[in-house]
Structure 1
Amino acid sequence: MSKKMVIFTDLDGTLLDHHSYSWAPARPALEALNRGRIPVILCSSKTRAEIATLRDELQNQHPYIVENGAAVVIPYGYFEPAPDPEHPEKRSEQTVSFGTSRDRILAVLDYLKRQGFRFRSFAAMSAGELAQVTGLSEAAAVRAQTRTATEPLLWEADADSLEVFKAVLARYRLQLLEGGRFFHVMGFFDKADAMEYLLERYRIFYQNQDVVSVALGDSPNDTRMLEHADIPVVIANAVGGSLQLPNRGNAVYSDKKGPEGWNASILQILKESFPQAAQSTE
């Protein structure tokens, strides 16, 4: 049985530079994957609006995963024939949701704030403040605030208080995941759940081929996605302390950070594990 590779990638600090948000150093690998017709699934804590903008830049037409796995968004007619191809005005993306609502999360956070926990969430920041914290433009910061099922925050107290905060959130069936810049308050789902859903769709779609998943990430909130992939790739963290996957002996660890590490890792995987794909992308 022939193999079909599907790529799942984190964005900030992985495909995108931690500081500049540029993906340009990964261009050779992205072009190789495009020529090889290998899907690249963007999988991030970013919102639908943010990823939609990036997909336009990358000319990426594949499904994508938003808000740390809160939802999978599938383009119109991607896995099956479009239901109404003669009426493009009716075209829309299919959204499969896994998360709780942001309104409920904000209600819990408001209560915990009044109990004395010290943090600043996206909802408490103006677009200008968020732009200063993240290095985004104000327009991009507005897109980052259009969330539906998660809430990022900056923790402003000590580590002991953070552990208490996590325990209290769990009473409300919420968890706290650590990302590259922020902690993320969310329900009990993650990128791995969304990845598994899409992989099952791809297995049906590529019914006569063995689907092999490759996942790339750099932060703790990528851990389960990496552990569930056939080939996990840990990108060197831009601020130090790279992830370790002790139970995955086949894990690939990049020497370079961000998109440079992404580019080198993907090209090496193509060369070593998918010679046919590598030949088609030369």
Structure 2
Amino acid sequence: MPKSRLVIFSDLDGTLLNHENYRWQQAAPALERVAEAGIPLILNSSKTAAEIRVLRQQLGNTDPFIVENSAAVVIPPDIFGSDSEQVVHFGASRTEVLKVLSAQRDSGARFRGFADMKDDELAQLTGLDSASSARARERLGTEPLVWQGSEEELKRFEAALAAEHLRLVKGGRFYHAMGIFDKADGARFLLNKYRELYQERYGDQQLTAIALGDSPNDQQMLEEADIPVVIRGVNSKEVQLPSEKHAMRSLKPGPAGWNECVLNLLFEYGY
């Protein structure tokens, strides 16, 4: 009998997906084991709902997912008792974010956001194809951008956004202008949902949350988990691991590191 019920939250770019080519196949053995064990795998990313839907189809994933750093949580039908898909929103809308960014540009801030780009331009910048780039631009509450100013200007830009109740978060590839929410908000919301569901199904059996990420953008999500796992990557050394928790860092980067760490944890917890 497993020690406890597991729920896994995972970042995508640089974590489950290779940073260069967005492939996940190196994590296939662990993904198969997770699916066989019936463990919810919650994809938690700066990616849009349109992007994550395509990946979920490839993975055969049917669990809830968190989009745009917790701009929204998407809950498929029949997960928590609803017969239709539910979308729960957090923080400022994209329209509000773009309004603030426009005012900052008028004040001299130098950046280029997704709203400024055509699909082909974004494809060239990211290596995505044109259709994938179009999905990346279908946003609910955040605006990724490439900063083009100096470090000093960046500090002033961050302060100006903060004065408008927005945040600027550094991800693996872009900065993200967004409301006052982070990846932990969606994770916390779903953890509470799963605790209620599992209490009803299994009584007092413990629920253990595993979270995997590779950049400072994942810090709050990792801190929310019982087992934070930092996957080796471009900015992974900037991520702080809580000393009081069962925390780990992968030796391998991207999906290879994801695969290794998840398989080790599944073995440890008797799955």
TM range (shorter): over 0.9
TM-score using structure 1 length? 0.91
C-alpha distance in 2 between matches for 1:109 and 1:46: 20
Q: What secondary structure, in the 3-state scheme, does the structure 2 residue paired with 1:38 have?
A: coil
Which residue identity lines up with residue 29 of structure 1 in the other structure? Answer: A
The alignment-based identity, stated in percent, is 52
Unaligned 5+ residue runs, structure 2?
A: none
- Structure 1 residues 79-116: Cα deviation after superposition (integer angstroms, max 9, x where no partner): 2263xxxxxxxxx4101111211111111111101111
Spell out the pairing of 1:83-232 with structure 2 (5 A cutoff).
Answer: 92-207=84-199, 208=203, 209-232=205-228
C-alpha distance in 1 between matches for 2:171 and 2:112: 15
Q: What secondary structure, in the 3-state scheme, does the structure 2 residue paired with 1:200 have?
A: helix
**1:66 matched to which residue of 2?**
67
- Structure 1 residues 8-58: Cα deviation after superposition (integer angstroms, max 9, x where no partner): 000000000000100000000000011111110000000000000100000
Spell out the pairing of 1:31-70 with structure 2 (5 A cutoff).
Answer: 31-70=32-71
**Change over 3 Å in CA distance of 1:107–1:37 after alignment to 2:** same
**Change over 3 Å in CA distance of 1:98–1:240 after alignment to 2:** closer
Which residue identity lines up with residue 252 of structure 2 in the other structure? Answer: K
Query: Which aligned segments of 4 or more residues in structure 1 are displaced greater than 4 angstroms?
Result: none
- Work out the number of aligned pairs and report it: 266
Unaligned 5+ residue runs, structure 1?
A: 83-91, 278-282
Q: What secondary structure, in the 3-state scheme, does the structure 2 residue paired with 1:255 have?
A: strand
C-alpha distance in 2 between matches for 1:36 and 1:187: 36
C-alpha distance in 2 between matches for 1:124 and 1:206: 45
Bigger CA drift: 240-249 or 102-111? Answer: 240-249
1:244 shift after superposition? 2.7
Contact in 2 for aligned 1:215/1:231 (Cα 8 Å) = yes
Q: What secondary structure, in the 3-state scheme, does the structure 2 residue paired with 1:153 have?
A: strand
1:134 shift after superposition? 0.7
1:240 shift after superposition? 6.5
C-alpha distance in 2 between matches for 1:248 and 1:181: 30
C-alpha distance in 2 between matches for 1:251 and 1:202: 22
Contact in 2 for aligned 1:236/1:242 (Cα 8 Å) = no
Contact in 2 for aligned 1:227/1:248 (Cα 8 Å) = no
1:251 shift after superposition? 1.3
C-alpha distance in 1 between matches for 2:169 and 2:33: 33
